[in-house]
């Protein structure tokens, strides 16, 4: 194989493996950082994580059940500003929790008197409006629960 061919092949391999490596590390990040922080709440086994860019938003819909204690954890990679998240009643959009009012705490502990479907709204803040190279990093949303 020629030098040029090997170079092209290397570039192709790099393009193929880079996103996979990044995703794999996103899982490791979710597992080592976010899941570990749920303790003593038991993680439910669900995996919700993605590479997000500054300014990007995400929403997650989930049913939470009465008489259980929950911890929602929203974790962002260290190159991102603290992640903003709100918890909203899906029926009327009422904001039930806003972490910007709690010093951008990454977690929220709560329980419910009756089962509800809630929406978790997540935003990766843009620290500087004139940014040329926006940062990208892993953001994970995880849940843990405990018996009441």
Partner 1 sequence: MNRNLILTGRVSLLLFVFLGFILTGCNRGTKSEGVGSGDFEATGSLDAETQEQLNTAKRIFYSLPSPLETAMLIKNAGAEYNEGLMNPTENSSQYITSKSKALNLGIYSTDLSYASLFDQAQATLNYIEAAKEMADGLNILDAINEETIQRLEDHINNRDVIIDIISETLMNSSSFLKENGLEATASVILVGGWVEGLYIATNLVKENELEGKLVERIVDQKLSLDIMVNLLEESPDDEDAMAILEDVKVLKTIFDKITIEQGEVTAVEDPETNVTTLKSESSIEITQKVFNELKSKVIEIRTSYIS
Taking CB under 8 A as the criterion, which residues in 23-52 touch partner 1?
Answer: 23-37, 42-52
Indicate which single residue of 8, 13, 100, 127 sits in contact with partner 1 (rule: CB under 8 A): 13
In this complex, which beta carbon is closest to partner 1, that of residue 55 or of residue 127?
Answer: 55
In the complex, least distance from residue 100 CB atom to partner 1, rounded to whole angstroms = 14
In the complex, least distance from residue 44 CB atom to partner 1, rounded to whole angstroms = 4
In the complex, least distance from residue 33 CB atom to partner 1, rounded to whole angstroms = 4
- Is the separation of the CB atoms in 139 and 49 below 8 Å? yes
Q: Which two tokens stand for residue 77?
A: 């990679």
In the complex, least distance from residue 126 CB atom to partner 1, rounded to whole angstroms = 8
Overall residue count recorded for the chain in this entry: 148
Map the footprint of partner 1 across residues 128-147, applying CB under 8 A: 132-138, 141, 143, 145, 147
In the complex, least distance from residue 104 CB atom to partner 1, rounded to whole angstroms = 9
Neighbours of 78 (CB within 10 A): 8
Site string for partner 1, 83-112 (x = CB under 8 A): x-----x-xx-x-xx-------xxxxxxxx
| Phi, psi angles (nearest 5°) of residue 89 | -75, 120
Q: Residue 24 has what DSSP assignment?
A: H
Measure the CA–CA gap between 136 and 95, rounded to whole angstroms: 27
In this complex, which beta carbon is closest to partner 1, that of residue 53 or of residue 100?
Answer: 53
Residue 85: partners with Cβ closer than 8 Å, 6 or more residues away = 72, 74, 99, 120, 121, 122, 123
């Amino acid at each position: 194989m020629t030098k040029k061919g090997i170079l092209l092949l290397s570039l192709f391999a790099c393009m193929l493996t880079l996103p996979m490596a990044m995703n794999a590390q996103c899982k490791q990040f979710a597992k080592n950082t976010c899941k570990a922080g749920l303790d003593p709440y038991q993680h439910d086994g669900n995996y919700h994580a993605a590479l997000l860019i500054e300014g990007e938003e995400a929403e997650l819909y989930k049913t939470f059940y009465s008489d259980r204690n929950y911890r929602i954890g929203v974790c962002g990679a260290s190159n991102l500003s603290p992640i903003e998240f709100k918890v909203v009643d899906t029926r009327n959009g009422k904001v039930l929790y806003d972490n910007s009012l709690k010093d951008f705490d990454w977690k929220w502990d709560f329980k419910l008197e009756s089962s509800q479907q809630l929406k978790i709204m997540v935003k990766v803040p843009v620290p500087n409006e004139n940014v040329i190279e926006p940062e990208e990093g892993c953001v994970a949303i995880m849940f843990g629960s405990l018996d009441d």
